[in-house]
Amino acid sequence: MLRYVLLTVALVGLVCHAEESPAMHAGHPNLPDGYEMVAYLNCGAEQECVGAGGVRIRQDSGSTIDLQSVNGPLGIAVQDGLFLVEGMDEDGDYVLGFTFWNVDAPATTQKFQVQGLDVSTLVPPMLWGIQASAYHAGQPTWTRVLAPLEEFPHFRGSGMRIHLEGESPGAPSVVNELFLLKRKSEEMRKRILIVTGDDYEGHLWRETGPAFAEILRADPRLEVSISESPAVLGASFMKHYDAVLLHFKDYADRLPLGERVRAGLDRFVSEGGGLIVAHFGCGAFQEWDGFVRVAGRVWDPALRPHDPYGPFDVRITDDGHPVTQGMEDFTTEDELYTCLVGETPVQVLCEATSKVDEQPYPMGFVLRVGEGRVFHCPLGHDVNALKSEGARKLYRRATAWAVGLEP
């Protein structure tokens, strides 16, 4: 316990207020609509939760830690916990959720063991920065991860044991929330996962992630979720989803994404998954030369990044493509990106002219990668930019196209 006291003193000034870290609840923007929360455990504060229909989450072992530098429901957690989840319906469609907020540990990775299965079958190891597993506005923060369980049907009747441990010997693991969702709607929709969890400090993904979700949920054919860790792209459960909206810019010194994550994204798209690359997603995977093949164009840090934030017109240049067919030119207030490079063949659907150099730049383009459909759009700097009806329609129609629906 002394170690925690000393580290609490070292973390003076790093305070997460209660209103900034609400406990999970049905209707939270990260969670897929059409699901109900059947069990929720505030780890450390509760030993057991019996939820809807008798679903139970119980902590069997692990030590409670009080993160005194964090106020609110995430200020208490369980280290190196072993949990039992039972009471699931045999034919239920479930999603398991975790929340992590580790202000105590040095840089480490955390792994998840489920009844002896290889760790890669649920969630891959996620590198934690100096104090957390995600970064927002340049500061460490909590992260929430969703793990669909449809590929593990035997857990529904027998229950499952979840063991969280540090990947390195002696490295602690921490979990703040553990919850289980069950699909209540009988209607099957196309499943979209927004993947975020880090970005340039001026990109507030905790605001823009839910804004993207709201835009896509306006299409009732889409079921939208948010996971706040790019590492999920390397997980086997990605086959649960029909498309990914890539909404992060990782920084290798705090959230390095290894070969497993890169291969997971490549495989997901090549085998038929849709991909939407949004705004500074063009700057993700800077250490991966093959990303340009998947994204079509990527950020070149040697170029002028964009025009000053402000209004500009977006022109539809290809009204024959399903995404832009019938769309009209529109005005948005955003960053006009001028920094994308690459030789991968793409089909430009719309463009805008820079007020700085008077040259046209693509604002939306598509490509095919194996069996998958990719739409890349540099629009979406902030919530205000995502209020443009034209930009909203463009993202919504492109997502529908990426999963094989009529826009």
Rounded to whole angstroms, the Cα distance separating 245 from 210 reads 12
DSSP E strands in 228-346: the ranges are 243-246, 274-278, 298-299, 310-316, 330-334, 340-341
pLDDT for residue 68: 73
Tokens of 401: 């196209």
Name 82's bridge partners.
61, 163
Band of pLDDT at residue 352, cut at 50, 70 and 90: very high
d(CA 171, CA 80): 9
pLDDT band at 237 (very low <50, low <70, confident <90, very high): confident
Give 288's contacts (C-beta < 8 A, 6+ positions apart). Answer: 257, 262
Interatomic CA distance for residues 75 and 42, integer angstroms: 10
Average pLDDT over residues 255-270: 90
C-beta atoms surrounding 120 within 10 Å: 15
What does the pLDDT read at residue 245? 98
Rounded to an integer, the average pLDDT of 205-221 is 97
Mean pLDDT calculated for residue range 380-392: 98
The pLDDT score that the predictor gives to residue 18 is 30
pLDDT tier for residue 252 given thresholds of 50, 70 and 90: confident
Identify the burial level of 102 via C-beta atoms within 10 angstroms of its C-beta, where 0-12 means exposed, 13-18 middle and 19 or more buried: buried
What pLDDT is attached to residue 105?
A: 52
What's the whole-number mean pLDDT along residues 325-348? 98
Q: Which of 126-135, 146-155, 156-165, 256-265 has the lowest mean pLDDT?
A: 126-135
pLDDT in tens, 310-336: 999 999 999 999 999 999 999 999 999
Listed in sequence order, the residues at least 6 apart from 196 whose beta carbon sits closer than 8 Å to its beta carbon are 205, 209, 226, 227, 228, 230, 247, 248
> Within 13 Å and on the Cβ side, how many CA atoms surround 101?
32
Section 250-266 average pLDDT: 86
CATH number of 24-185: 2.60.120
pLDDT at res. 293: 97
- If one compares 51 and 14, the residue with the highest pLDDT of the two is 51
Residue 210 pLDDT greater than 50, yes or no: yes
pLDDT band at 12 (very low <50, low <70, confident <90, very high): very low
Q: Is residue 202 over pLDDT 90?
A: yes
What three-state secondary structure class fits 292? helix
Short-list 255, 220, 254, 199, CA closest to 382: 199
Do the strands 56-66 and 48-50 form a parallel or antiparallel pair, or are they unpaired? antiparallel
Confidence band, pLDDT 50/70/90 cuts, at residue 134: confident
Least confident residue range of 163-177, 185-199, 340-354:
163-177
pLDDT above 90 for 32: yes
- What rounded mean pLDDT belongs to the chain? 85
| H-run or E-run covering 305 | none
Report pLDDT for 172. 64
Please state the rounded mean pLDDT for residues 90-101: 87
Mean pLDDT lowest among 61-70, 194-203, 238-247, 382-391: 61-70
The DSSP call for residue 11 is T
pLDDT the model gives residue 81: 87
The answer to pTM > 0.95 is no
pLDDT classification of 383: cutoffs 50, 70, 90: very high
User: Over 70: is that where the pLDDT of 111 sits?
Assistant: no
* CA distance linking residue 296 with residue 211, whole number of Å: 25
Q: Could you state, in order of their start, the residue ranges of all structural domains in the chain?
A: 24-185, 208-402
Measured CA to CA, the distance from residue 154 to residue 116 in angstroms comes to 13
**What is the structure's pLDDT at 169?**
57
pLDDT tops 90 at residue 35 = yes
Rounded to an integer, what distance in angstroms lies between the CA atom of residue 65 and that of residue 69?
Answer: 12
Q: Is the pLDDT of residue 4 over 50?
A: no
Q: What pLDDT band is residue 113 in, cutting at 50, 70 and 90?
A: low
Residues in the chain: 407
Segment 105-124 shows an average pLDDT of 51
CATH architecture of the domain with range 208-402: 3-Layer(aba) Sandwich (3.40)
* Strand residues in 319-387 grouped as ranges (E): 330-334, 340-341, 347-353, 360-369, 372-377
Residue pLDDT, tens place only, 387-402: 999 999 999 999 999 9
Greater confidence (123 vs 111) lies with: 111
